[in-house]
Amino acid sequence: MQKCENCNSQFSWSKIFKSFWWTYKPIKCDNCGTKHKITIFGRFTFGALTTLPILIFTNFLSPFNNVFMTIGIGVLILIVGCLFTPYVVQYKEAL
């Protein structure tokens, strides 16, 4: 999990998760007040963990002949990817 570069306190999972859905809103440290913004690599990582697995599954790996089953599994993959991203995405101190 990402930590503050200034005071080394850890950000909460929910704070990082909420920053994704508000157009990559910067995170403010609760301890020292330093703002951190997501890196470009972090944005690509978020996209790769959420949309890329869905596209690969629905286009190439889907064993189902039922469209609704394929879409349901795709949504499940999206949810799992979204829940995993706060552990992987990196932030840096905003200048």
The DSSP secondary structure of 15-79, one letter per residue, reads HHHHHHTTTSPPEE-TTT--EEEE-HHHHHHHHHHHHHHHHHIIIII---S-HHHHHHHHHHHHH
Higher pLDDT, residue 58 or 92: 92
Query: Does residue 43 lie in a domain region?
Result: yes
Query: Does residue 2 lie in a domain region?
Result: no
Q: Domains in the chain: how many in total?
A: 1
Query: Does residue 4 lie in a domain region?
Result: no
Domain that holds residue 50: 13-93
Query: Does residue 87 lie in a domain region?
Result: yes
pLDDT exceeds cutoff 90 at 68:
no
Please state the rounded mean pLDDT for residues 3-27: 88
Please state the rounded mean pLDDT for residues 28-32: 91
Which pLDDT score is estimated for 13? 92
Query: Does residue 48 lie in a domain region?
Result: yes
Query: Does residue 3 lie in a domain region?
Result: no
